[in-house]
Amino acid sequence: MSFGIPHVIIVGFPSSTSALPPATASLAGSRAQCVSSSRSRALTIRERPAYEAAVSARQRQTTEAFKQSYARRAGIEGTLSQGVRIGDLRRTRYIGLPKTRLLHLLIATALNMVRIAAWLTEAPLAQTRTPPFVALGKAAACY
């Protein structure tokens, strides 16, 4: 096994990459049983602090407190998405922060008006999108 030069991955944690040379992998004779690609495979090994940080982050994601805070984030993301659809929130039409801030306030006001109108008309909330494959399965189950 040859070990690569330590490098820094995107998140900034140092890591090391190791890979089997193509000649060694083909000599093993079992490459076709392991992978279907002809490209070489590499294994990135994080240093201990980075590995422990990733493990603790995965464990934290299973807690109830994380799920509640993530649900709050999902609500905020939904509001931003609605702002993008209603008022093209991703782009500003004006130069300068005061005019951009005014546009954001107008979009927020429009969002509130749309939500009040939906509440007064008792419009049902949007359901989570059903993937096409699931919809196909439900349709096939009816026959």
What pLDDT digit, counting tens, does each position of 68-126 carry? 888 888 888 888 888 898 888 888 888 999 999 999 999 999 999 999 999 999 988 77
* Of the candidates 59, 113, 65, 52, the residue with the CA atom closest to the CA atom of residue 86: 113
12-61 pLDDT, tens digit each: 556 555 555 555 545 555 666 666 666 666 667 778 888 899 899 999 99
Reported as a pLDDT band with limits 50, 70 and 90, residue 7 is very low
pLDDT of 58 reads 92
pLDDT of residue 86: 87
pLDDT at residue 56, rounded to an integer:
92
Comparison of pLDDT for 120 and 8, the residue scoring more: 120
Give me 60's structure tokens: 């934290």
Alpha-helical runs (H) found in the chain: 22-28, 31-34, 48-60, 64-87, 97-120, 132-141
> Is the whole model's pTM more than 0.75, yes or no?
no
